[in-house]
Structure 1
Amino acid sequence: MGADDRTKANSHAPLTVLIDHFASTDHPIVFQAAFEGEPDLTAAGEYHIDEIEHGRETLWDEAAVALEELLRGPKNSESSSPRSESLSESQSERIAEIRNEDWGHTFTTNLRAVTVPTSPSRSDTSEIDHYLRNLSTVFDPLAGDYYKLEGETLHGKGALERSKRKRSRRCFNRVLEGEVVSGGKLSRSEPDLHLDPAELCNLVIVPSTEHLTDEAVKETHANPESRTALPGLDAAQRRQYTTGMVLGQDANSAVEGPLRLPPGRQTRHWLLCGATGSGKSQVTNRILRSLAETTPGPNVLFEPKGDNMCLNYLMAHYQKFGDLDDVYYFREPGTLPAISFFDIRPALEAGHDRETAVKEKADHFHALMRMILGAEKHEQAFVANEILTFLIYALFDPKHGDDVFGLDDFVDAATRMHRHQELPGISDINADIHDSLASQFAKDEHQFDTTMGAVLNRLNRLKEDRHLHWMLRYKPGRKSNGDDLYGFHQQETHFDFSEFLDEDVTILFDLGDLTLDAQRGFTTVLLSNLWHAIQRRRRTNPENVVNVILEEAAPFVATELVADQLLPQGRSSGLSLGFIMQYPEQVKSWDDGNGAYEELLTEVHTKLIGDISMTDRFAKTFTHDELSVEDVRNRNNRMAAGEWFTKLVSPGFGEDRPAPLTLHSMPIVSGHPESDEPLTAAEQQQFDEELLPEVIERTEDEYGLYVPTHEDAMEWSNWSDTDQWADAPPVPDGDEREETDEREVVDPEVETEDADAQQPFDEFGPDDGDDDRPDERDDSDLTAQADLSDSSEAETTDNDPADVASGAVFFDPPTDEEECPVPDRELHRRRLSRDDAIFLKRVLDAMNRDLPGYTLLEGMDELQEDLDEVDVEVLIEQELLERGKVDRRPYYTVLPAGREVLGETLTAEEGIGDLGEKTPHKVGVELLVRWLEILEEVDRVVRYYQQSSETVFDVAAFGADDDLVWVGEVEMSSNNAEAVVSDYEKMAAVDADVVWAFPSRDDAREIANVLADAERLPGSVSGRAARSFAQIQERVESFEAAGMTTVQTFRKMEKKVTGDSS
């Protein structure tokens, strides 16, 4: 443009159009805006305005004025004054435009574009010429009334080809070097623009996506505005987050190092949410190790996923500190903490009165039951829950009770109340409790039996998992008369969080190998102990923080123990709770009306959120100034893996909370196997052979509870069949049976706790929860219960369960059509009921795949839901039936004696079953069939495929061409190594892949090592290769053995076929 035209019209963001052009071409192209600052041109701008006002703004005007002065003489000063009153409209606008420019800050700017033909053809070059001519029009909006922009195509200049190349090369070098070129004063055109900052920004700052076309956004892979980085913290704020727990890296901060949460702000609690695979575990490992480095006090992790997170942390800890001396590792169920749950001694030591301590313990017990049963089912049985509460009060009676008791004592008290209408000793101060319990004895006998059945069923749910049972029965400092096994472990061993509150230790609870119920039960028991510990804590160091991290935390946040006690009240005792879950709304599904979700949002002040769907309520906690709820949701929905939308706690009391910011995950913590700095081979060997065994042994010796095996029980116990029958319920009226020596009822007064512990109370029927109806308390209803057949009018009888009303019962009530398969005389001789025989027949039909509407993947308890008089324990005692489990579901096997009673056989033929096969094995076969059916190469699957008269495969799978592609073996726990080797050789002999299915990971490892000992596999499965099932599977597959291609567990197969990725 001209030398005097040092301004331009307002820009129309030419880069928007330029990017659209780029998106429409297939040629590589580069655009460059090279600029450099100019000296202050304010005086030049004022001179320019003066020239316009005096009519000298162009060379022609200058010549005209000079000629006029030559002919007429110089004008006097008065006549040479500005002639603003005679300025044209265009000249006035011109002056206004000049005055709008920032002449104090201007830049000399060159605009260049370089493109390269994709082929040397002439047509391709012509296409580029046309494209560049169109491209030059992009900057037309920069032109004004007194100047315009013209594009110059350099390769078209010069008469000779050599001249063209030389000029083009020179200009291309300017692009490479970013050189800025300016023109001469006398030239009519110049290669440079003179722009103020606002104008220059429109040429160097890419417009936001809302100003681009959809095609431009797509082709340029532009980030939407919601993906642009938030400004982050200013330097003063940022310096307040430089000590303590590592949260992540703030890419926009000039302050070096990761952003950290200071110890003094950790007690405001924190939340980490993200989808599966978002990197939560890596963030947690980094957090945990940084706490060990920077924050005094214990660090506790509850880890239920079983994905080696605890082991990976131990390696990272070792790499950083050189040892594991300050770590305790409870790898459940191998190492149980020796904790006593029904124990009010810690609360009494904290100064609480006895009544408050007992009430809290009762509340914590019901929190535990909600974890096991689910809140809805737990609350259904109001009367049963009330009885359990009053029994707890009675067992803690200040005169006749104790300060600690075990689950077996609890079961014994409930059993005596049921069988003999006996109550624990209760002092006068608790007379109201005695009266409430005694009032149950006035009920109709059937109603009383059903209510007490619900009580005992609840207690026996706590006994289903052997390890949870042993932890709940533990009562350190007390002995149990008549319990041979109680003294098996060291009585003085005791785990209590109060011992660690002022210690710099890390405590890991690895719960991945426990059942879901046991995981939740363990965690609730430990959190209860933690609550009593922090209540009696006297905090001497304000920097000392008890950091507790809960993975999969949603169910626990919803409990009153956490929502009403630990979360709002723990802060004053230096407790910091870190909750990790997929999304915060998970808490709502567990919230039983105590406002836990709102408590989570208000009490947790630091939040790190990955790419999850946010509700408006949760997004509102991130709003700040101009960041609306919609902005928050849009930004969070576009978080990439490893990015965390973060809201920080305020740096101090009375200070403003920082605006939300985006943090990036730190690199995987060193020492982790997947990090850039894993353990060296020598370090790994020392960890595996010395440090890990040592930390496990030390944890067991100091704080572990030993759970005896079944072999221990046989060796140490003097149990007999008679003892085991001690827990059987009384025979209901109308079904009294003749007593014989075969079934001797032992005096309840001499029952041992172990008899209680071993005898399940399934005979009381399903826990239907209907004993909580209002009229159960009404004595007038006792007469209404007389006619039990009038179920349509009965409001409260427990034989009209809610589960039946909702359609949960699998079978309709037995009718005359379902005939009893055993003659009455035989039933009487064996002291069996008709329901016993019908149940036995149903189980056998299910085993023979001959029970309509039933599959073996459903469990077998439902087969007895409509049979009120069935007594499974009697069938088991008479060796007619055997109980088993698959993945926590109960199953039964009809034994040979049971088949003889029924006069039927177990079907052994292709597609149905095998000789001598028990139900858990059949379930494994069914799972293996379903697993094979989803494989792409499999067209059909045959159960119990008979290849020859002597060769039968549990499962065989065929391809589309009917060729054998897989064979499979379901291998249960076995001490018969020869049978295992025989199965291996049978399958190794066929030209097909081979899958082995096992009930558990331990069985897979054991059988693989049996085959290794027999030299059928080239190596064993032990050490690091046996830590998880995935590692066992990887190890086996690496052998490429002819008779074992891969291995599966029942649970893994079920998750695969059901699509359950949890």
Structure 2
Amino acid sequence: MPLTDDRQPYQNPFVLPPTLQDRHLFVIGDTGSGKSVLTTSAMLSNVEATDGPEILFDYKGGGTAEEYLQAHYTAYDGLEDVSYFDLTEILPALSIFDIRPLLDSGLSREEARSRIAGHYEEILAGLMGEEQYYGATESTKAIRNHLRALYDPIHGTDAVSHKDLYRALQRTLSDRTPPPTSDERLTEYFAGLLERDRDVFNMVLGGAVARVEIIATDDRLAPLFDHVYTPPESDESNESDEHETIDDSPPHFDFTDVIDDDTVVIFDFGGMEERIKRALTLVLLSNLWIALKARSEAQKTSHQQPPRVNLYLEEAKDIAATQLVDTLLSQGRSFGLSLMLGVQFPGQLDSPDPSNHTYEEALNEIGTFVVGNVSIEDDLAKALATDDVPPRNVARRLAAIRHGEWLVRPAATFGSPAPRPFLGRSLPAPDGHPASETPLGDEQYQAFNTAFELTALETWNEAGLKYESNHPSTESGSGDEDTTEEASLRVDSLLPHTKRLPEYVSYDESIHALCCGSCENRYDPTIEGMKRSIECCRSLTEVEPDDIPVCDINLKLTAEERDLSDWSDRQLLFLQTVYNAQQLRYDPLEYDLLHDSMIRLQEYVGIETDEIAPLLEADLLRHDTDHPHRLYTVSSEGRSTIGESYRKGVDYGHGVGDLDESSEHILGVEVARKHLEEAYAEDPQSEVTEVIPYYELDDQHRLDLAGVDADGEIIVTAEVERINHDVRRAVPADFDKMAACEPEAAIWVVMKQADGHKILSALNDPLEGPPRIEKTYAKTTPPQQFRIDTPGMTAVYPAEWLRDRSPDLP
């Protein structure tokens, strides 16, 4: 919203029309300045205003992706035409070394393979560091020429895998046999390479292999680089009905298929290692650039204007100063690309590589600047200056900007002078966004979560690759199941269904027993039998814990009830397994709620992801969170479906649990309980003698945990807080509830670090009543470093941090 000189709103909000967006948009602001909300609003408006794709790289993994999806869900009543890649779980099914799209667009083979080789080099340089990678010129040349040879028109192919390149280099090094090629220049290169001194030859090829091994030996990157898409062959003779078609296409993703569609594609990098983030980002940008170039070549004979592609890179400081981004900024406009680039300060675009001009390209080529309260740089002031607003005036205005305000210099229409910069303020977050005045309510949020889960599942099925697993499926859980097996599915044990078993333990279905893989001794099909079978000839310490499955299961439905159910036996088994897990009924070796993802339960039941989706859609199962790991919760209707009663005093109530408690909350309570036990009840200097979970107070309120002395007096309280739309009302109420007990310590446990700041904000500015706490902290301060001493709060701990800490806490 533009502001007047006295900082009052001026008429209507400022809108940057699509015709000016192809000059790109530069958003500069410190952490917490509002870049994420600005990005969400920009994307949401462009979904309506433009007919091309919106592509978001949530590089920092701070929740921008999910926040946008909540706003999108509210604005468009669903998540249709949205693809969501959680890159910590799945990879886009790209064919990175596939030149077919480039050849189809009319590019020559030489140009196509050279482009692929150049982008691959930049990815490797991003992983290693440019100085180290390019430090061995002959080794990098060997990589480039081996890759080019694999695309030979006679001896090669149009789509290769990274494994092919790795093996070609190893073969040249060990056997001195380079790949065959019909290219005279490459033939001469390889001949000269083989004539070199052996030590020099080994050094050159050894350096090349070592560089390529960075990807070849990385389980997170190798599946992506090794994937080669093979289109399904059409066979009309196999169609039994002209109206009936079966889509058995393998998963596939390519920006060539995206850039002309009115769709939203989101890549959520989560908490990935920075080095892997950088590599995946460069891979995706490379594929996007190749798709844009291919479209441009194909459009040369057409007069039709292609849809504009809107790309949003937020906080991508580690890839911003690369030649790829440099190219996107300088040439993207001519290929129908609009780029919104967000950084904390322009200097993050500067690169020591003299061939990289991203910093200059950004300041000179970008049309629209949106600048918050940042450190003033002379180059930035000059870039924002106009004929009637000199750089010194711009610098002065930047220095006076307040939090939430921006200095905006819009792009100019063709042939017009640059508009004067003006002061503006961020518009409110759009409806549905957690920071908006109308976030999703409880029912809306549950419906959104279901839609979100289904969108992620659909993306996975159509365009996703799983990360490679280091634990191959066991014989009992692998292979194709006959469709008639479901009728006789065993429901009193998970051992016939599990896809995981320790390497030296097997399951004999004919006698329903576990067997030692070394001596073939037999043991009971229980967790105790599992321990004995492992320790028969080995040791428990040699076993990967994830390979020890849940053994016993007790599905409380008769065969007749299962026949009448709308759900398959395997789906019912999964509901029962999840319910038992959230009720903490398993031996920690089988499943530990505090440390184990419920993806393990999926593997133990042998259920596919697309069989879980209907359970989520019917609200029998709820997807709680993926932090710190995947957690599901069985709803009250889900409990009824598997015949589980829920009795007060047994399943919920004082000392037992909450009604309709989620797995995420149970995890938090268990983490807090263990902390109170270790830090207070087991401390001889503490008055606490007992820790009681779900402690009911006289006024019918309940504490998540209370540490009491020998007389039953409350000494310590703890509250596990899950952030929802009612945070400014619920948090102060919980604060007052604990403060009324006048404990010596009042501990809060939150699920994420950001949640600790949301709690503090709610106590600083509650919806009702006075502030409970005056103290504030910077958003970067971990909650465990808060120093607050009030009856309602003495400490705030993230659950994952508290879980992994020793008991020696103050």
> d(CA) in 1 for partners of 2:206 and 2:781?
33
1:703 aligns with 2:463: yes
The offset of 1:600, in angstroms, is 1.4
Change (3 A) 1:977 1:501: closer
Change (3 A) 1:470 1:975: farther
Change (3 A) 1:523 1:638: same
The offset of 1:503, in angstroms, is 1.7
Name which structure has the greater RCO, CA cutoff 8 Å, separation 6+.
Answer: 2
1:672 aligns with 2:401: no
Structure 2 residue runs without a partner (length 5+): 233-246, 479-539, 546-586, 596-625, 633-649, 676-702, 708-717, 721-746, 756-779, 786-810
Equivalent residue for 2:315?
552
The offset of 1:681, in angstroms, is 2.1
Query: Do the aligned partners of 1:342 and 1:406 also contact (CA within 8 Å) in 2?
Result: yes
Equivalent residue for 1:657?
418
Equivalent residue for 2:204?
451
Equivalent residue for 1:362?
117
Q: Deviations over 1:550-575 (max 9, x none)?
A: 122344343222313x2222212321
1:305 aligns with 2:67: no
Equivalent residue for 2:274?
516
1:286 aligns with 2:41: yes
SS class of match (2:154): coil
Task: Find the partner of 2:373 among 587, 598, 611.
Answer: 611
> d(CA) in 2 for partners of 1:673 and 1:499?
32
Equivalent residue for 2:290?
532
> d(CA) in 2 for partners of 1:447 and 1:609?
53
The offset of 1:536, in angstroms, is 2.9
Task: Find the partner of 1:344 among 96, 99, 122.
Answer: 99
Amino acid across the alignment from 1:693: E
Alignment of 1:587-598 (within 5 A): 587-589=349-351, 591-598=353-360
Larger radius of gyration: 1
The offset of 1:1020, in angstroms, is 9.9
Task: Find the partner of 2:390 among 620, 628, 631.
Answer: 628
SS class of match (1:576): strand
> d(CA) in 2 for partners of 1:347 and 1:412?
25
The offset of 1:1017, in angstroms, is 7.7
Equivalent residue for 1:580?
342
Query: Do the aligned partners of 2:60 and 2:270 also contact (CA within 8 Å) in 1?
Result: yes
The offset of 1:296, in angstroms, is 1.6
Considering only aligned residues, what root-mean-square deviation do their CA atoms show, in Å?
4.5
> d(CA) in 1 for partners of 2:651 and 2:129?
47
Amino acid across the alignment from 1:613: S
The offset of 1:676, in angstroms, is 0.3
Change (3 A) 1:981 1:675: closer
Amino acid across the alignment from 1:462: I
> d(CA) in 2 for partners of 1:541 and 1:716?
57
SS class of match (2:414): coil
Alignment length (residue pairs): 529
> d(CA) in 2 for partners of 1:441 and 1:1021?
69
Equivalent residue for 1:495?
253
Amino acid across the alignment from 2:96: F
> d(CA) in 1 for partners of 2:103 and 2:673?
53
Amino acid across the alignment from 2:470: H
The offset of 1:261, in angstroms, is 1.0
> d(CA) in 2 for partners of 1:543 and 1:476?
26
> d(CA) in 2 for partners of 1:1033 and 1:602?
53
The offset of 1:607, in angstroms, is 0.8
SS class of match (1:462): helix
Structure 1 residue runs without a partner (length 5+): 1-227, 233-249, 480-488, 719-914, 921-973, 983-999, 1007-1012
Equivalent residue for 2:556?
none
Query: Do the aligned partners of 1:310 and 1:508 also contact (CA within 8 Å) in 2?
Result: yes
The offset of 1:311, in angstroms, is 1.0
> d(CA) in 2 for partners of 1:705 and 1:632?
49
The offset of 1:1001, in angstroms, is 5.1
Task: Find the partner of 1:435 among 154, 178, 188.
Answer: 188
Change (3 A) 1:1057 1:665: closer
Query: Do the aligned partners of 2:669 and 2:705 also contact (CA within 8 Å) in 1?
Result: no
Alignment of 1:556-567 (within 5 A): 556-564=319-327, 566-567=328-329
After alignment, is 265-274 or 508-517 more displaced? 508-517
Equivalent residue for 2:130?
375
Task: Find the partner of 1:335 among 90, 103, 107.
Answer: 90
Amino acid across the alignment from 1:619: A
The offset of 1:612, in angstroms, is 0.9
Task: Find the partner of 1:424 among 163, 179, 193.
Answer: 179
SS class of match (1:655): coil
Query: Do the aligned partners of 1:298 and 1:505 also contact (CA within 8 Å) in 2?
Result: yes
The offset of 1:699, in angstroms, is 1.1
The offset of 1:472, in angstroms, is 0.7
TM-score of the two chains, using structure 2 as the length reference: 0.58
Q: Deviations over 1:817-869 (max 9, x none)?
A: xxxxxxxxxxxxxxxxxxxxxxxxxxxxxxxxxxxxxxxxxxxxxxxxxxxxx
Aligned-residue identity in percent? 31
More helix by proportion, 1 or 2?
1
> d(CA) in 1 for partners of 2:651 and 2:660?
11
> d(CA) in 2 for partners of 1:505 and 1:641?
33
Query: Do the aligned partners of 1:230 and 1:660 also contact (CA within 8 Å) in 2?
Result: no
SS class of match (2:133): helix
Change (3 A) 1:509 1:478: same
> d(CA) in 2 for partners of 1:614 and 1:1031?
47
TM-score of the two chains, using structure 1 as the length reference: 0.45
Change (3 A) 1:662 1:491: same
Change (3 A) 1:359 1:279: same
> d(CA) in 2 for partners of 1:1004 and 1:492?
26
Change (3 A) 1:509 1:441: same
Query: Do the aligned partners of 1:613 and 1:633 also contact (CA within 8 Å) in 2?
Result: no
> d(CA) in 1 for partners of 2:670 and 2:197?
57
Change (3 A) 1:517 1:491: farther
Task: Find the partner of 2:166 among 378, 401, 411.
Answer: 411
Equivalent residue for 1:505?
263
SS class of match (1:645): strand
> d(CA) in 2 for partners of 1:582 and 1:981?
36
